[in-house]
C-alpha cells in the first residue's frame, strides 16, 4: 500500500464534491492534481489505470474507519468501471434524504418496492417500472398516514410512550412526474427508450447495502401445526462478482459465453 499523501487527500476532496466517476475521469483528475503538485503539466497517459486503482485502494484503507468506502461496479450499459464514494454505515437512504422531502423519499422507496418486489419475480426479473405505473405510485399508503405509538427508553432508563406523526397524503401526479425527472437528472434513475425507469449504476453502488437488507429477506412459512417459521432467504437482489448489487444481463451473457468455451 502506498503512503497517504497530498495527492490522496486532494483526490478524496474531489470525490466529496463529485462522488461518482469512471476510470477515465479518475485518471484525468489525478493528472490535474499531479500537475498542481509538481508545478508542470502531467499528461493523462502517464497516469495508468493500475496507478489509479492503487490510489483508490490506499484511500479506501484510510477512510474505512470513518464508515466511508469507495465502491466499484461496471456500468450497466457500456461495462466501464465506475467508482462512488459512499457512506458504509447507511441503514437508510442518507445521501438521498439530504436533498428531498419526506414525501419524495417515501415515493422513491415505493419505486424501489415496485422494481425489486412487484416487478422482480421468478417469471420476469424486470427490475424496472414504466413511467405511467411510476406516476400512479404517488400517494402514501393509508398505513403510513396514521400516527404510530412507540415505546422508548428515556434518560432515566424508564419506558415511555411517544407518538410518531404519520406521513402526509403523498404527492400529486404532477409532483410525481416532476420527481421522476429529478431522479433521472440527479443520476439516481435512468430511463430507456421504452419508458422504463431503473436504478442507475451510481444508485446501485450507493444503495447496495440498503437494497440487500431490504429485499433479501427470510420469508415466513406456516407449518401444518399452525406455527410460523422462517423460510429460506429470497435473493431479490442477486450479487455477482462483477456487478456486486445485481446480476445484470451483461454478466449473464458473460457467464453464458464462458460456459460455451
Interval 53-107: pLDDT, tens: 999 999 999 999 888 889 888 876 677 788 988 877 655 566 666 678 888 988 9
Evaluated on CA atoms 26, 29, 34, 35, the torsion sign reads positive
Paired sense of beta strands 216-222 and 196-199, if any:
unpaired
Taking residue 245's Cβ as centre, other Cβ atoms within 10 Å add up to 22
User: What is residue 228's predicted lDDT score, i.e. its pLDDT?
Assistant: 52
pLDDT band at 171 (very low <50, low <70, confident <90, very high): very high
Q: Is the pLDDT of residue 257 over 90?
A: no
Q: Is the pLDDT of residue 261 over 50?
A: no
- The percent of residues above 90 in pLDDT, for the chain, comes to 38
Structurally, what CATH architecture does the domain formed by 6-87 represent?
A: Alpha-Beta Complex (3.90)
Interval 31-48: pLDDT, tens: 999 999 999 999 999 999
Let me know if 228 is exposed, middle or buried by CB neighbors in 10 A (0-12, 13-18, 19+).
exposed
**CATH 3.90.1150.220 segments of the chain:** 6-87
**CATH 1.10.10.10 segments of the chain:** 99-206
- Residue 26 CA to residue 49 CA, distance in Å, equals 9
| Mean pLDDT for the stretch of residues 215-239 | 56
Beta strands in 67-107 (DSSP E): 68-74, 81-87
Helices 23-38, 6-17: inter-axial angle, 10-degree rounding: 130
User: What is residue 209's predicted lDDT score, i.e. its pLDDT?
Assistant: 81
Radius of gyration of the chain (CA): 22
Structure-block grid coordinates of residue 42 = 502531467
Classify domain 99-206 by CATH number.
Answer: 1.10.10.10
Q: Is the pLDDT of residue 195 over 70?
A: yes
User: What is residue 8's predicted lDDT score, i.e. its pLDDT?
Assistant: 95
Structure-block grid coordinates of residue 126 = 424486470
Q: Is the pLDDT of residue 225 over 90?
A: no
User: What is residue 224's predicted lDDT score, i.e. its pLDDT?
Assistant: 64
pLDDT band at 245 (very low <50, low <70, confident <90, very high): very low
pLDDT band at 258 (very low <50, low <70, confident <90, very high): very low
Average pLDDT taken over every residue of the chain: 79
pTM exceeds 0.85 for this model: no
Q: What single DSSP character describes residue 120? A: B
* Inter-residue contact 171 to 213 (CB < 8 Å): no
- Residue 3 CA to residue 18 CA, distance in Å, equals 24
Amino acid at each position: 500500500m502506498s503512503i497517504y499523501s497530498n495527492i490522496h487527500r486532494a483526490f478524496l476532496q474531489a470525490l466529496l464534491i463529485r462522488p461518482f466517476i469512471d476510470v477515465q475521469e479518475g485518471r484525468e483528475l489525478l493528472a490535474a492534481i499531479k500537475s498542481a503538485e509538481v508545478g508542470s503539466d502531467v499528461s493523462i497517459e502517464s497516469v495508468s489505470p493500475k496507478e489509479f486503482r492503487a490510489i483508490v485502494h490506499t484511500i479506501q484503507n484510510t477512510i474505512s474507519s470513518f464508515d466511508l468506502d469507495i465502491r466499484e461496479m461496471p456500468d450497466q450499459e457500456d461495462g466501464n468501471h465506475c467508482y462512488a464514494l459512499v457512506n458504509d454505515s447507511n441503514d437508510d437512504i442518507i445521501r438521498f434524504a439530504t436533498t428531498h422531502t419526506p414525501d419524495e423519499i417515501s415515493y422513491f422507496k415505493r419505486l424501489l418496492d415496485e422494481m425489486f418486489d412487484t416487478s422482480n419475480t421468478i417469471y420476469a426479473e424486470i427490475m424496472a417500472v414504466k413511467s405511467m405505473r411510476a406516476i400512479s405510485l404517488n400517494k402514501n399508503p393509508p398505513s403510513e398516514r396514521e400516527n404510530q405509538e412507540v415505546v422508548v427508553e428515556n434518560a432515566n432508563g424508564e419506558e415511555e410512550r411517544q407518538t410518531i406523526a404519520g406521513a402526509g397524503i403523498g404527492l400529486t401526479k404532477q409532483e410525481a412526474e416532476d420527481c421522476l425527472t429529478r431522479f433521472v437528472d440527479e443520476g439516481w434513475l435512468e430511463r430507456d427508450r421504452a419508458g422504463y425507469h431503473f436504478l442507475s449504476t451510481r444508485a446501485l453502488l450507493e444503495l447496495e447495502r440498503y437494497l440487500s437488507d431490504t429485499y433479501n429477506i427470510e420469508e415466513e412459512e406456516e407449518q401444518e401445526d399452525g406455527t410460523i417459521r422462517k423460510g429460506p432467504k429470497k435473493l431479490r437482489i442477486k450479487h455477482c462478482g462483477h456487478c456486486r448489487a445485481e446480476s445484470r444481463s451483461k454478466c449473464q451473457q458473460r457467464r453464458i459465453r464462458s460456459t460455451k468455451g
